[in-house]
Structures are given as structure tokens and as C-alpha cells.
Amino acid sequence: MNKRIGNIFPIFGVILFVLCATFDLSAQIKEPAKWKVSASPKEASVGDEVTLVFEATIDKEWYLYSSDFDEDAGPTVTTIDFEPHSSFELIGDLKAVGAEDKYDEIFEADIRVFYGKGRFEQKVKILAADFKIIGEYDYQVCSDVSGQCIPFSDDFDFAKILKVSEGNEDTVAPTQQEEASPAEPKSDEEEGLEEKKSAVDPTKKLIEEEEVADKETALAPQEVEEEVDPLLQAENERDPLSPYSLLTFAIASFLAGLAALLTPCVFPMIPMTVAFFTGNKSRQKAIIKALVYGFSIILIYTAIGVVVAKINGPGFANWLSTNWVPNVIFSLVFFIFALAFLGLFEITLPSGLVNKVDREADKGGYYGTFFMAFTLVLVSFSCTGPIVGTILVESAGGQTLKPIIGMLAFSAAFAIPFTLFAIFPEWLKSLPKSGGWLNSVKVVLGFLELALALKFLSIADQAYHWNILDREVYLVFWIVIFGLLGIYLLGKLRLPHDDKIETVSVPRLMLAIVTLSFTVYMIPGLWGAPLKALAGYLPPMSTHDFDIPALVREGGNGSGDEAYQLCDPNPKYSDLLHLPHGLKGYFDYEEAMACAKEQGKPLFIDFTGHGCVNCREMEARVWSDPAVLKRLREDFVIVALYVDEKTTLPEEDWYTSEYDGKVKKTIGRQNADFQITKFNNNAQPFYLLLDHDGKLLTRPTAYNKRVSDFVEFLDEGKIKFEERMK
């Protein structure tokens, strides 16, 4: 019976691979970046060179794209455009100060971003005291946590920031003075118009901090609250920092702690430790010391989580996740631990360190009890180190709570059995005997460490284009690793220190079935199957050399043409914009709504952007699912509204926004303004289903990689639409 119980516990190692996807959806206007402009020096003379500084304060969990990477990579680079004027000239190019490298897995490109603070500098030469330096900057902020991207545009004006005196007019080239001279009357007139415009210009937040607060107040949803559909007022979905998501991570960490207990480094120490406490004459003191011992273990491990939380941050997480140095180090460490777990050699800490701590534990009292806990942590390091490392790496996302909660949950699972057996020593009789099953647990963890070693090496490989682990090569390794693990669990493969297995227990057989089923699941991936359950662990599909589904889509006739014909075969902007997976649709709201009425179908709105990385991920991982594609093709009229499309519309289509008082001249800005004023939201991706009156059919959804949730969203909208049409 005990042997059978022991054999079931290797499954806890597998649970470390379970990841729960959550998303953040809020019906509100978000402004994750606040901008401020300044000049250095603040006072200058005609002929001087001045540095114009643009600084952005970026909210935690968000990042701002820089200006110094290839604009064709995919994401929207930050651009600062100056309105040409004879009173100044630009010196050199815009300079981004302190941007960090980042590899974008969706766009598969090297980019540069800012975390926390962003700074851009532009040198100009002042040519006239009566200067006019105005312009506009475009930028995009994204979040790896909420999965949202938001493009912004705003104006700047240095009229009240920079003071310029006449100075020595000889410092200005005659040709420049001559060019500036006839323009002075026009400049005065333009300045008058600018002063009139600034009376209603909401971008004064760039000048004074107090006006930032005023702007934020103006952005609040009160002005459009009456027009917002009640469905937009629903409570937010769980975000990755919600109690639900943190609880999920804590449970996984707790199970990891249980798995660590069942390793050869830890399990035999339970009866040894309990003997230390039961030898105490006072039962009450023994119980108190046992509790101190358990809390000491929790304190030591949680302290590690606190240290990680202190050094952790969005920038650190980005470096950790993209730089080749930490990922190659992680890969080597996990590979070495895997070899040790598989029985090639033993890993031990320096004996001097362990003996020194052990001597402190012999001093007795509560001081000695603490160091006894410390001794356990050190002695068990060779088995717990990789598991602890996995928890800390998984929590490295710029968050403070996650590593602390992870280590607290892990250490609780680790400490509770020691404490309970010390308080109730008679329970020791029910423990299974140490034996070959402990080594089996260790070997299972070794196979898992091998898989993780490849994962970290793959990150570095993708970021620096080494082309060592393309998708099919990576899959071959994982198929072999997990296939061998399944064979090992069936007792057909023996490693050093393993006992000979005469029969396989039922729990071990069940685990072998799960492992081999997982192996078989991966095999179609060699020919291009998406394997969405492993999307976070596999290299991108673009590295796959033989992608059959892509070949079929490109050369076959599976686009669903027969299922859905457009009302207009040549919709507006279709020469510029396209939908993924062969879908047909529109890129103008009015045109799409007219078609929806004509065909008697609900309207599916996709607020998206060219530089929206998570929009591309949703299309690749969710829209590509056959169940989703079938519904989008057959049940809805689709309109994709790009909020960052810079194509300028004819002047007769321009309008002044009631939201911010600005003239909307491009396709993107009109779409963004429509999203804000109509739906009180400015983040992408953002999906809505509307009836023919423009009313929401169901609550909108955003970045959520669960296909079942997206299918439910579409089905619910279709049902509501049919009910309203009766």
C-alpha cells in the first residue's frame, strides 16, 4: 500500500508545466504614459543650439516603444514630428536615451523599448527670437501583463518653456536671416492663431504638472457616460495580479513544494528531524520548537522571494527573458541538474558551509532550531534548487507579490510535514519506507529539467537568431525526452541507482499514459500543427520549415469564400488593409454596418493596430482555431478598425472630435476616436458584437487566449442578436 502511495507523487513535478491564461479588460480610458517636455538650457539667444527634451513616465507593467529600431519590424516606433518653421532648424536626428533591447516573439524582430521612464532628445538651432516650435508625437505603449497595446498622438508647444533673446544677430547666417525676415509677419499671424487654438488645446499637460491632473480628469468617462452601453459598465475580468491568478500560482508552487519533499535529498530527513524534537523532555517545548522550525523554513525561503522581488522589475524581467547570458546560464544550470538527477553524479554544497551551519544548530534553543532549519535548506539544495529556480523564473515579470507568494507557498508545503510529524511523531509509522521510488521521483524531475534546459536555450536562440533550435528541432528533442520518460515509467528503462521493477503499479501506469499521450500530441507539430497548449514553450511557427497548414491556406481553396460574400467586393481601404486567415471583411464602420443590415447578421468589430503585438497573437492563437474561423466566416460581418493607420483622408472627411477638440485627419485617428467616444475604451485588442442599431449584444472581450471563451463570446452574441431580431 505504501509503495503504491509513493509512486503517485511524481505527477507533482509535471504540474509545474501548467500555466493559466488570464486577461485584463476594463471599460475605461487608459493613459499608461504621461509626457513632459523641457529645454536645456531654458534660456537661449538667437544662434544658440538648444536640446529639446521629451520625457515619458510609464506605468508599471507597461512599456513604450523607442524610436531607434527598424520601423518595418512591426511595432509602432515613437516619432516626433516638428512643424517646419523659419525660426529654427533641426540639428541631427532624434535621440532615444536609455532604451533597452527586447526580442518580440510575435513580430520575430529585435526592437527597443523603455520601462518606467522614457527620454528623447532633439537638438535645434534658434534662428529667431520670435520662434515657433510646435509639432506632434506618435507613440505606442503595450503591456505583457494585460496583453493590451494603446497608440497615442499628442501635440507639443515650446512657447512657454523656452525663452529666447535677440542675442548677437551675427551668429545667424545671412541667408537664414533673409529667409526668416519675410516670414515674420506671417509668424505673428500664426502665433495669434496658435494662442487662440491653445485656449481649447488639451495638450497643455506637457507644460505644467497641474494640467496633467486636469487632463486626466477630462479623460474620465463622465462626458460620454450617457452614451456608453450598460454592458461596458460590467466588472473587470480577472487580471494576472488578481487574487484568482495569484492563488493559481500559489497552488502550483505549493504542489512543487510537495514534489520537493519526495526527493532523496529531503524525504529521509523527515524521521531524522522528528527524532530531534521528540527527544526533548518537555512535550510543550518540543511542540513550540517544532513550530519555530517550520516557521524558520518558511522565513528562509520567503526571504529569497523578497530579495527577488526587490531586484525584480519590468526592465529586469525583460533582460532576464531576452538576453542570451541569463538564458544560456539557466539552460546550463538546468542541464547540469538534470544529469545529476538522472544519476551521473551528485551535487553537494561545500562541506565547510554546511558544517558551519550545522554547528550553529547544535547550540540548542530557538537559535539552534533556526539554524537546524537553515541546515535542512542547504542540505536539500541539490534537489530543491531547480524547483525553486523554476518558481522564481516563472515569477520574473516585474511583479512584487508573485515571487514572495510563490516562495511562501512552496516553503509552506515544504515545512508543514516536518512540523506535523514533529508534533505527532506516531504518524511516522504511516510513512512509506525510503527506497527505489524516491530515486524514480528524482529521475522524473531530471527529465523535466532537460525539457526546461531546452526552453531557456530556445529563448536565447530566438533572440539572437542562432538558428540552433528551430521549431521542428525543438519538438524532436521534446518528443524524445517525454517519450523516454514514458518508457521509464513503464519500467522498460533503468538508470543508475534504480531498483529493478517487477511490476508496474496502477498510479505509475496512469502517469506513463499521460506522459506518452503528451508525446503523441506533439508529433503532429512536426508537420505544422499549431499545438496551442504549448504556444508559450515552443519556438514561433515562422522557424518551422515544413508548415503544411500554411501551404494549404496559401495554395488551397479553404478560405471560406462560399460561406461569406461581401456586399461590396472592393470595400474601402481593402488595398491597404487585410484580415488574417483568408477572412473577408471591412475596414470602415459605416460600410460594414450597412452590409450587416443587408445580410441580416450581427457586426463583429475588431479594434486593432499594425503595431499591436497582442492583436497578432490573438489572431495566430485564437482566430486560427477552426471553431472560431467557422463562426467568423458564417455568422458575422467583420470590420477591422485600425487605430494606428496613418493614411490621411480627404479633407471633406475630417472632423473635430468632441472628446479632445482635435481635428481627426487619418483613418487611425478617426477609428481611435470612435472607440473612445462610443465605447469608452482605448486599448487594443478590443472585440465587440453589435446589432443593427449599434447596440452591444454581449459584453466586449479583449486579450484572452482561451479559445473556448472566445467561442462562447461569439455564440452568446449570435443568440442575443437572433432574440432581438424576432
Give the list of residues 6+ apart from residue 508 with CB closer than 8 angstroms, or none.
Answer: 7, 8, 10, 440, 489, 490, 491
Q: Which of 477-486, 571-580, 683-692 has the lowest mean pLDDT?
A: 571-580
Residue 447 lies in a domain: no
- 693 vs 709: CA distance, rounded Å: 25
- 395 vs 379: CA distance, rounded Å: 25
Residue 423 CB-half CA count within 13 A: 14
Residues 322 and 360 reside in one and the same domain: yes
Residues 89 and 159 reside in one and the same domain: yes
Residue 538 lies in a domain: no
Query: In one letter, which amino acid is 213?
Result: A
Domain end residue (candidates: 417, 434, 451): 434
Residues 135 and 55 reside in one and the same domain: yes
Q: What's the pLDDT at 703?
A: 84
Query: In one letter, which amino acid is 419?
Result: T
Query: In one letter, which amino acid is 492?
Result: K
Residues 275 and 392 reside in one and the same domain: yes
Which range is most confident: 228-232, 350-354, 603-607?
603-607
CA distances (Å), 600 to each of 9, 273, 699, in order? 56, 73, 21
- 468 vs 91: CA distance, rounded Å: 44
Residues 278 and 355 reside in one and the same domain: yes
Query: In one letter, which amino acid is 134?
Result: I
- 660 vs 314: CA distance, rounded Å: 31
Residues 269 and 188 reside in one and the same domain: no
Residue 379: count of CB within 10 angstroms of its CB: 18
- 335 vs 386: CA distance, rounded Å: 10
pLDDT band at 720 (very low <50, low <70, confident <90, very high): very high
Tell me if 651 sits within 8 A of 663, measured CB to CB. Answer: no
Residue 540 lies in a domain: no
- Adjacency order of strands within the sheet including 33-40: 33-40, 49-58, 117-126, 88-96
Query: In one letter, which amino acid is 624?
Result: S
Q: What's the pLDDT at 689?
A: 95
Nearest to 105 by CA among 621, 686, 642, 583: 621
CA angle 134/137/139 to nearest 5° reads: 170
pTM over cut 0.85: no
Judge whether residue 200 has pLDDT over 50.
no
Q: What's the pLDDT at 717?
A: 93
Residue 695 lies in a domain: yes
Residues 416 and 563 reside in one and the same domain: no
- 713 vs 707: CA distance, rounded Å: 10
Q: Which residue's C-alpha cell is 509668424?
A: 187
Burial readout 626-651 (b: 16 or more C-beta within 10 A, e: otherwise): eebbebbbebbbbbbbbbbbeeeeee
Q: What's the pLDDT at 52?
A: 92
Between strands 134-142 and 79-82, the pairing is: antiparallel
pLDDT band at 32 (very low <50, low <70, confident <90, very high): confident
Concatenated DSSP letters for 97-134? -S-EEEEETTTTEEEEEEESEEEEEEEEEE--SS---E
- Adjacency order of strands within the sheet including 686-690: 637-642, 603-608, 686-690
Residue 283 lies in a domain: yes
Residue 387 lies in a domain: yes
Residue 604 lies in a domain: yes
Mean of the pLDDT values across residues 374-397?
63
Residues 627 and 687 reside in one and the same domain: yes
Burial class from Cβ neighbours inside 10 Å (0-12, 13-18, 19+) for residue 684 reads: buried
Q: What's the pLDDT at 413?
A: 81
pLDDT band at 464 (very low <50, low <70, confident <90, very high): low
Mean of the pLDDT values across residues 608-614?
79
Q: Which residue's C-alpha cell is 526546461?
A: 452
Residues 274 and 186 reside in one and the same domain: no
User: What 8-state DSSP symbol labels residue 241?
Assistant: T
Q: What's the pLDDT at 13?
A: 39
Residue 127 lies in a domain: yes
C-alpha cell at 247: 492563488
Beta pairing partners, 153 = 138
Summary mean pLDDT of the chain: 74
Judge whether residue 6 has pLDDT over 60.
no
Q: How many separate domains does the chain show?
A: 3
Dump pLDDT digits (tens) for 475-510.
Answer: 999 999 999 999 999 988 888 877 777 788 888 899
Residues 89 and 186 reside in one and the same domain: yes
- 80 vs 101: CA distance, rounded Å: 21
Judge whether residue 234 has pLDDT over 60.
no
Residues 157 and 265 reside in one and the same domain: no
Q: What's the pLDDT at 337?
A: 75
Beta pairing partners, 57 = 34, 117
Dump pLDDT digits (tens) for 522-561.
Answer: 999 888 787 766 755 677 665 667 767 656 655 544 444 4
Provide the CATH number for the domain around residue 687.
3.40.30.10
Provide the CATH number for the domain around residue 159.
2.60.40.1250
CA distances (Å), 459 to each of 106, 319, 329, 470, in order? 13, 12, 12, 11
Q: Which domain holds residue 315?
A: 240-434
- 703 vs 149: CA distance, rounded Å: 10
Domain end residue (candidates: 187, 219, 251): 219
Tell me if 643 sits within 8 A of 607, measured CB to CB. Answer: yes
Q: How is the chain split among helix, strand and coil, in percent rounded to 5?
A: 50, 15, 35
Burial class from Cβ neighbours inside 10 Å (0-12, 13-18, 19+) for residue 167 reads: middle
Give the list of residues 6+ apart from residue 13 with CB closer than 8 angstroms, or none.
Answer: 259, 441, 444, 445, 448
Judge whether residue 172 has pLDDT over 50.
no
pLDDT band at 352 (very low <50, low <70, confident <90, very high): low
> 619 or 481: whose pLDDT is higher?
481
Residues 212 and 250 reside in one and the same domain: no
- 472 vs 474: CA distance, rounded Å: 5
